[in-house]
Structure 1
């Protein structure tokens, strides 16, 4: 599994999205929680990194953890069952909406689209607002087309990406996610939740069954009249698109 070019890929994707304002930083600081997530990734995957950062060295330590995870994935490991939860939690709590791919991608290779998306959908429906926003950011990467990879899950009968792709449809749970995200956007006034849900939210009535058309109209109205500049800017691009 090639994940070393994540930072370059993320920057390229950002440049391609010309005309869009960058997603603002979070209003709620979850960095300490993310550091605990990284410590769990180190422990469960036995990464060759110090188990915790030195005081004042958190950013550099985080980079070392990401690099160690990329290196481990290049060695085509069989990931233990316990790795699923820690990778998904790290993806949800990663403060960077580009680099969270580094946790989503190995989970997809080892455990498949359905399991990854089910976890994110559950997080959107039942998590804290911080987790709901993080799940929306991580959902973007759950659509990655998976390349042939030796990364798998311990004890799995799925041997390689060809079989995994046949067993796990890339479109799985997309409709369920869109409906849940649409309802959450309308229901939940938390700024980070709305900012993170909106970029991946179709705002065409044709994307939903008739019983949700009124909810689509409500979402557009909320976004257009919202006091946040990013939300107002983003909705106009999406309605025109």
Structure 2
């Protein structure tokens, strides 16, 4: 994939779902970048992020964890000008960073997922990208932020306990 992206690469509409599914199902949080980055360059930040948000909201626990692992790569700048969509008019042209509304939706969904989903891998994958500052959320979510911090601090998993302290201090 990496070699193909260095040359001129035109991605079909069907390749979008294939790339995102591969990114979500790849267990390596570094390796999945090779699927996210071409999708970003061909189809745009908003479309990639919206698809990852869909996995977080409705996927299996495996897919929810995978969407969280892939999310960090969805902020990459577009650096593959030779990778493009076959029909940019129908898929939307890949544009520089957009979609602050999608980011806000992701942040809320990730917060809710961390609090409500007890699956260990989901919590481990969601937590690093989760803002645990109340001011990052509307006031109606502040109690949920407190709940997330309390869950993480008292969690049986050492990584989660360590990670929350790294993120919030104290």
TM-score by length of 2: 0.94
| CA shift for structure 1 position 157 | 4.0
Residues in 2 aligned to 1:199 and 1:146: alpha-carbon distance in whole angstroms:
23
Q: How does 1:1-241 map to 2 (within 5 A)?
A: 69-147=1-79, 149-157=81-89, 164-165=94-95, 169=98, 171-240=100-169
Q: CA RMSD in A?
A: 1.7
Instruction: Specify every segment of 5 or more residues in structure 1 that has no aligned partner in the other structure, as ranges.
Output: 1-68
Using a 3 Å threshold, how does the CA distance of structure 1 residues 72 and 200 change in structure 2: closer, same or farther? same
Aligned residues: 168
| CA shift for structure 1 position 150 | 1.6
Instruction: Indicate the SS of the match to 2:94.
Output: helix
Per-residue CA shift, 1:88-126, capped at 9, x if unaligned? 000001011111000000000000011100110000000
Runs of 4+ in structure 1 over 2 Å off: 163-166
Using a 3 Å threshold, how does the CA distance of structure 1 residues 170 and 125 change in structure 2: closer, same or farther? closer
Residues in 2 aligned to 1:137 and 1:155: alpha-carbon distance in whole angstroms:
28
Structure with higher helix content: 2
Instruction: Indicate the SS of the match to 2:29.
Output: coil
Using a 3 Å threshold, how does the CA distance of structure 1 residues 106 and 172 change in structure 2: closer, same or farther? farther
Residues in 2 aligned to 1:190 and 1:130: alpha-carbon distance in whole angstroms:
9
Using a 3 Å threshold, how does the CA distance of structure 1 residues 112 and 206 change in structure 2: closer, same or farther? same
Residues in 1 aligned to 2:49 and 2:130: alpha-carbon distance in whole angstroms:
16
Contact 2:5–2:80 (8 Å) recurs in 1: no
Instruction: Specify every segment of 5 or more residues in structure 2 that has no aligned partner in the other structure, as ranges.
Output: none
Asked which structure has the greater RCO (Cα within 8 Å, sep 6+), the reply is 2
Contact 1:113–1:172 (8 Å) recurs in 2: no
Per-residue CA shift, 1:202-224, capped at 9, x if unaligned? 00000000000000000000000
